[in-house]
Amino acid sequence: MERVRQDLYKVEFIVAQGEGNRLLHSYLTGKKHLSAKALGRLKNQGSVLVNDLPVPLKSTIREGDRIVLIYPPEAKNPYLAPEELPIKIIYEDQDILVLDKQAGVCVHPTKHYPRGTLANGVLFHWERNKDNSTPHIVNRLDKDTTGLVLLAKSTYGAQQFFRQQRDGAIKRSYLALVLGEVQDDSGCIDLPIAREDKPTARRMISKDGKPSITHYRVEERLPGHTLLAVRLETGRTHQIRVHLSHLGYPILGDFIYGGDTALLNRQFLHAFRLAFNHPVNQKEMEFTSELPKELADVLTKIKN
């Protein structure tokens, strides 16, 4: 048996009934959705074991075979340093991490926010627990948007989640409080989004933009406001904020896109539901997050 370092990332599969009598390469690219690039990296820098023995990718596998993929260590990001920061962990195993992000925190370092991000806090958490994982952020939230964030802990998991995103298998739902009373009980906004020409983070509706689809449903109508449940079909920067503002219903507190800030000085947008398939065992997983007290208090004020 080949000796394996304990800090290397491993993925194990048992070839199921009806999946044998095929080439290992075909099994990994077809059933397990590995890219040719990933397989090449495994072959040249990692290991592929079948029943504890290294074998060529052109080998034939049988039902019941145990396949182990051993990935080489990932290069560390020199711009991402561990920092002791408060992070709220909803779920974690050896492959994934689900967090509940607070407002005012960037998900990853940027030019204007090089430190103090969610990724910095996650790295500290892993170093403290002697976990050699590398953060791969699957769904990004704006700095002042709260709620659920999903991270893969390896290149394998990140690739599996990328495929799920492409196929629409990752479901993301938000609560948004908008100005104005939305008349339709539900609707779909299908308008392309592009970056504005001037040097700014703002986005706009443009025929030259990327396809962007947002679904919404009225949760509650309040005096001068509407609470919406919003589901993303695509994931463009500021997508919900741009789409709702374009309809004439800017999100409360979103000053960039026309939202009033008298009651709240950041957008009332909360990622409350996240559903996906586990990247290794394919188990269906779903997580929810309660509305933060700050936003719940705003709802109470408006109702009263």
pLDDT of residue 250: 97
- Cα torsion angle, 142, 143, 148, 150, sign: positive
Using CA atoms, how far apart are residues 148 and 271, in angstroms rounded to an integer? Answer: 6
First CA to last CA distance, the chain: 69
Annotated catalytic sites, by residue? 142
pLDDT of residue 7: 60
pLDDT of residue 9: 86
What is the domain partition of the chain in residue ranges?
A: 10-70, 171-272+296-303
Element (H, E) at 69: strand 66-70
Bridge partners, 101 (sequence order):
147
Q: Are 137 and 108 in contact (CB under 8 A)?
A: yes
Ordered per-residue pLDDT tens for the chain, 304 residues: 344 445 678 899 999 999 999 999 999 998 888 888 888 888 888 889 999 999 999 999 999 999 999 988 888 888 899 999 999 999 999 999 999 999 999 999 888 888 999 999 999 999 999 998 999 999 999 999 999 999 999 989 999 999 999 899 999 999 999 999 999 999 999 999 999 987 778 999 999 999 999 999 999 999 999 999 999 999 899 999 999 999 999 999 999 999 999 999 999 999 999 999 999 989 999 999 999 999 999 999 999 8
What is the pTM (predicted TM-score) of this model?
Answer: 0.88
Using CA atoms, how far apart are residues 41 and 37, in angstroms rounded to an integer? Answer: 6
CATH class of the domain comprising 171-272+296-303: alpha beta
CATH of 10-70, one of 3.30.300.30, 2.40.110.10, 3.30.1370.100, 3.10.290.10: 3.10.290.10
pLDDT of residue 2: 40
pLDDT of residue 3: 41
pLDDT of residue 65: 96
Residue 286, both tokens: 């779903």
pLDDT of residue 38: 84
